[in-house]
Structure 1
């Protein structure tokens, strides 16, 4: 069972099931609640899609699929929060130097398991952010060895999800005509 139950989403003709973004709050609350809103948006864009259609590359000639975006976002969560910011020694997901596009190209495996792994990575990311003393805390950017702040990572993640939620909009509309979120 890879699809999100239909009762957990509402397409364009229904209500918004996401937690409303706060209208006031400090910078950390604003950034983290916005990121969670985008995470939930992505999940809702996949809601109700049958498992066999999640891997469908519905917007040719693009090689994107909802399943591929899911795998990509899972790897990005791990890369930015666990590896670069927290310095955890964990393997990369859906990537190798020999096959850098396996998140989009190798769509084997159960999408339901991919969703569970994504949710686990999101939970771990939230724990890391919550434990950080401030948004000025830094990790190490692996490509350069330079410090990178949690603030910058959160902004990068917001951009990542916003971009891919746009892709998911197009994919979902092509799959079953659903729009919204």
Structure 2
């Protein structure tokens, strides 16, 4: 309970990031893309959307980077589309790169650093961004857990993923 606030906020966000990625690890390419709800939400699009969020909040809003200076695109669809050419491993790697860049940018600012909310213009602090992003990623990890449970139940008892291209489960 005596850990500095910044360390707590950073570790909670990192845990939410890891939890989200863990909902995709071990799924086949087909399973990770399977739509089980009417929206574009799949286990893989949740990770792709999180990449968008890392760029939007930490690179563009906090770091004030131009879109062209971000480590990748800020998709009009918020990341809820994954191309046929993108593998699960590539989407996770892109998220990891965006997260690493977010950490570097955030480390340059105090928690009380203020920016304008990109949609409302309201003042928000880095502290607020940490709390917001932790909640966002934790919520999406919950969505991913439910989707994964549904996908695994479709395999049948003791059945491995439908594809040999699956990533190993995280320890």
TM-score for the superposition, normalised by structure 2: 0.78
Instruction: State which of 33, 36, 53 in structure 1 corresponds to 2:11.
Output: 33
CA distance in 1, matches of 2:85, 2:43: 14
Report the alpha carbon displacement of residue 129 of structure 1 after superposing the two structures with TM: 1.6
Structure 2 spans left out of the alignment, 5+ residues:
156-171
Report the alpha carbon displacement of residue 162 of structure 1 after superposing the two structures with TM: 1.2
CA distance in 2, matches of 1:55, 1:128: 31
User: Following superposition of structure 1 onto structure 2, how do residues 89-128 of structure 1 map, counting pairs within 5 Å?
Assistant: 89-91=66-68, 93=73, 95-96=75-76, 100=77, 103-111=79-87, 112-128=89-105
Matched, 1:148 2:128: no
Report the alpha carbon displacement of residue 146 of structure 1 after superposing the two structures with TM: 4.0
Report the alpha carbon displacement of residue 47 of structure 1 after superposing the two structures with TM: 1.4
Residues 93-145 of structure 1: per-residue CA shift (max 9 Å, x gap) = 3522xxx36x224543313222111110000011112121x100122322244
CA distance in 1, matches of 2:83, 2:2: 41
| Secondary structure at the counterpart of residue 46 of structure 1 | coil
* More RCO (CA 8 Å, sep 6+): 2
| Secondary structure at the counterpart of residue 124 of structure 2 | strand
Q: Contact 2:54–2:98 at 8 Å: present in 1 too?
A: yes
The number of aligned residues is 151
Instruction: State which of 23, 26, 29 in structure 2 corresponds to 1:48.
Output: 26
Match of 1:82 in 2: 59
Structure 1 spans left out of the alignment, 5+ residues:
1-22
Moved over 6 A (4+): none
Q: Contact 1:87–1:140 at 8 Å: present in 2 too?
A: no
TM-score for the superposition, normalised by structure 1: 0.74
